[in-house]
Structure 1
Amino acid sequence: MEDLINYLLQFGQLNGQQITLVKSKVKIIHLNKGDYFSEAGKIARQVAFVSEGILHVCYYNNKGMEITRYFIDEHNFAVDLNSFSSQIFSSEYIQAIMPCRLIVFSTEGLKELSLTIAGWDAIINQITTKSLIEKVNRISPMLAEDASSRYRNFLDRFPVLANRIPLSFLASYLGITQSSLSRIRRNF
Structure 2
Amino acid sequence: METPIKLYLESYQQICKEINDEELSFIEEHLSISEIKAKHYYLKAGQIQKSIGYVIEGLIRSYYIDEKGDEITVGFIKENEYATDYGAFIRQKPSKYYFKCIEPSIVVNLPYTTMQEGYKKYKSIERYGRLVTEEVLILQQTRIESFLFENAEERYLNFIKRSPNLFNRISLTYLSSYLGIERQSLSRIRKMLISK
TM-score, structure 1 normalization? 0.90
Q: 1:8 aligns with which of 8, 12, 15?
A: 12
For residue 85 of structure 1, what is the aligned residue in structure 2?
90
Give aligned pairs, total: 188
For residue 160 of structure 1, what is the aligned residue in structure 2?
165
Q: How far did residue 115 of structure 1 move?
A: 4.2
For residue 147 of structure 1, what is the aligned residue in structure 2?
152
Matches of 2:89 and 2:23 in 1, distance apart?
24
Matches of 1:158 and 1:142 in 2, distance apart?
17
Matches of 2:137 and 2:156 in 1, distance apart?
22
Change (3 A) 1:148 1:121: same
Q: Is the 8 A contact 2:16 2:124 kept in 1?
A: no
Note the 1:41-56 alignment, pairs <5 A.
Answer: 41-56=46-61
Opposite residue 7 of structure 2, the aligned amino acid is: D
Matches of 1:156 and 1:138 in 2, distance apart?
14
Change (3 A) 1:125 1:83: same
Show CA shifts across 1:107-131 (max 9, x none): 2332343344343122111111122
Q: Which runs of 5+ in 1 are unaligned?
A: none
Q: In percent, how many aligned pairs have the same letter? A: 31
Q: How far did residue 155 of structure 1 move?
A: 0.9
For residue 40 of structure 2, what is the aligned residue in structure 1?
35
1:177 aligned onto 2:182: yes
Matches of 2:89 and 2:167 in 1, distance apart?
29
Show CA shifts across 1:138-163 (max 9, x none): 33123332222221111111111111
Q: How far did residue 178 of structure 1 move?
A: 2.3
Opposite residue 145 of structure 1, the aligned amino acid is: E
TM-score, structure 2 normalization? 0.87
For residue 129 of structure 2, what is the aligned residue in structure 1?
124
Opposite residue 82 of structure 1, the aligned amino acid is: G
Aligned Cα RMSD in Å?
1.8
SS in 2 for 1:49: strand
Show CA shifts across 1:46-65 (max 9, x none): 10011111112210111110
- Runs of 4 or more, structure 1, over 4 Å off, are none
Matches of 1:7 and 1:138 in 2, distance apart?
24
Q: Is the 8 A contact 1:54 1:72 kept in 2?
A: yes
Note the 1:59-138 alignment, pairs <5 A.
Answer: 59-138=64-143
